[in-house]
Structure 1
Amino acid sequence: MHNPTVDAAEYAWPACAACGRELWHTEIGRHACRPCQERADQHLESLAGPHGLYAGLARALHPGAAQGEARVSGSRTAPLPLRLEPLSLSARGGVVTVLQTWLIDWHEHNGWTHPRWQGGLQQQLDQVVKALRANIEWAAASHPAFGEFAAEVASLTRSCQRQATGERAERRIAVACPCGDTLRITISTPGTRCSGCGTQYGRSDVLELPLARDAAA
């Protein structure tokens, strides 16, 4: 006998893979909502170009540069070493490599020809950003890992921003899921999934969770 109560319990309205909020009717069939697609696109755009965040890493390599401190010429002391954080982000294996890995994944997912890079790291950064932005509509709609992509791009953007401006990393807050597990989030967290029970929280939902006991003590 048909039981509509069971059907309602088993059916869950599809949610955005990036932020966890329920998709609008016009977004059904997509992996991510349009606001998250637009946010990822804006993050990519902020990284590229001669005045972008990636280019700003080169200016942040020397201690004090990110805070705008003037470097004194003619000093008798030995030059200070390069700052490791912006160096690791700007070097091979950093921002450029992470974005190229994602583009390769997208090409392999669609059976496209393997992408090629030309020039130095800044030129390659601009090339991969252009390619990712050109295909971001497809990725948000059809790629099952778009949520991971959006989170990684957001993390890279925040890291580059902090190094270029000298801002401190956001403080992490421990909140408690009803299942008893502890989630560590920041104020700008777009959403997260509880590893204990698998519940997906959107931004507003996760910020409403109570503080974990160890954090409140």
Structure 2
Amino acid sequence: MNDAPTQQCTVCATGLYDTEQQTCRPCTERVAANLLALAGPEGLYARLSDSLHPGSGSGGPAVSGSRTAPLPVRLEVLNAMTERGPVLGPLEGWVRDWEQHGRATVDETGTLQQRLDHAVGTLRFNLNWAAANHPAFADFADELWVIVRRCRTAAGEEKPPVKVPVACHCGQILRVSLDMDHVDCRRCQTRHGHAEMLRLTPTRRAAA
């Protein structure tokens, strides 16, 4: 058997061994760990509720120095907890995608936590198949990483990602970070998706 890498992993571009298909074992294991981190009563999704109120989770102040009363909840956390928010929405979207391949079953019954646990469970169950065969597995791995990072940031476990200035094709300077789903250019009205915005050219200031 030839143990030398032959092809590249679609996720990290490292060489694959002949026992690996499309995705290397470390990347598959990282995806499995990210899925596992989201689900269950102690998972990242459940812990979002602990960060819902100002001053909780992220370590932000409960009361600001302004005369305006603070919002009773943190809207970005509340949005992340909703049915169509940036956590459950994308996960169930991937379940629907895998269902078309005969590898998952959508279940939109029960509480939001139960739906998330089901989505994570069916994605984990079919993970080895997807890592070896799904044509968009790299996109799935990338989006899942963004979801986990967003949850950890909301829970105060990570600092918010640094925003880097990049140049739109029209010349407008945009500020992007790895956890953003997209960025809109005000000048030319172009919406750059996550993968596209990461390919935009950093400005001289960012390079410095």
Q: What is the TM-score when the length of structure 2 is the normalising length?
A: 0.70
CA contact (8 A) 2:22 2:131 kept: yes
What is the Cα deviation at residue 167 of structure 1? 3.3
Aligned length: 171
136-145 vs 165-174, which moves further: 165-174
Q: Does 1:23 align with 2:16?
A: yes
Residue 166 of structure 1 and its aligned partner are, at CA, apart by: 5.8
Counterpart amino acid of 1:133?
Answer: R
Query: 1:167 is matched with which residue?
Result: 158
Q: Greater RCO between the two (CA within 8 Å, min separation 6)?
A: 1
The structure carrying a bigger helix percent of its residues is: 1
- TM-score when normalising by structure 1: 0.68
Which structure has the greater CA radius of gyration? 1
Q: 2:29 aligns with which of 21, 24, 38?
A: 38
Q: Distance in 2 between matches of 1:116 and 1:38?
A: 25
Unaligned ranges ≥5, structure 1: 1-12, 176-183, 187-191, 197-210
Q: Once the two structures are aligned, what percentage of the paired residues are identical? A: 43
Say whether the 8 Å CA contact 1:60–1:164 is kept in structure 2.
Answer: yes
CA offsets 1:150-170 (integer angstroms, 9 cap, x no match): 000110001000101163222
Q: Mind listing any 5+ residue stretches in structure 2 that lack a counterpart?
A: 1-5, 167-175, 179-194
Q: What are the superposed Cα offsets for residues 145-187 of structure 1, whole Å, 9 maximum, x if unpaired? A: 0000000011000100010116322225679xxxxxxxx887x
Alignment of 1:35-114 (within 5 A): 35-67=26-58, 80-94=71-85, 95-110=87-102, 114=105
**Residues 108 and 114 in structure 1, CA contact (< 8 A), matched pair in contact too:** no
Distance 2:19 2:160 in 1: 36
Distance 1:127 1:42, change over 3 A: same
Considering only aligned residues, what root-mean-square deviation do their CA atoms show, in Å?
3.1
Please show how residues 182-193 of structure 1 align to structure 2 within 5 Å. Answer: none
Q: Is the 8 A contact 1:16 1:23 kept in 2?
A: yes
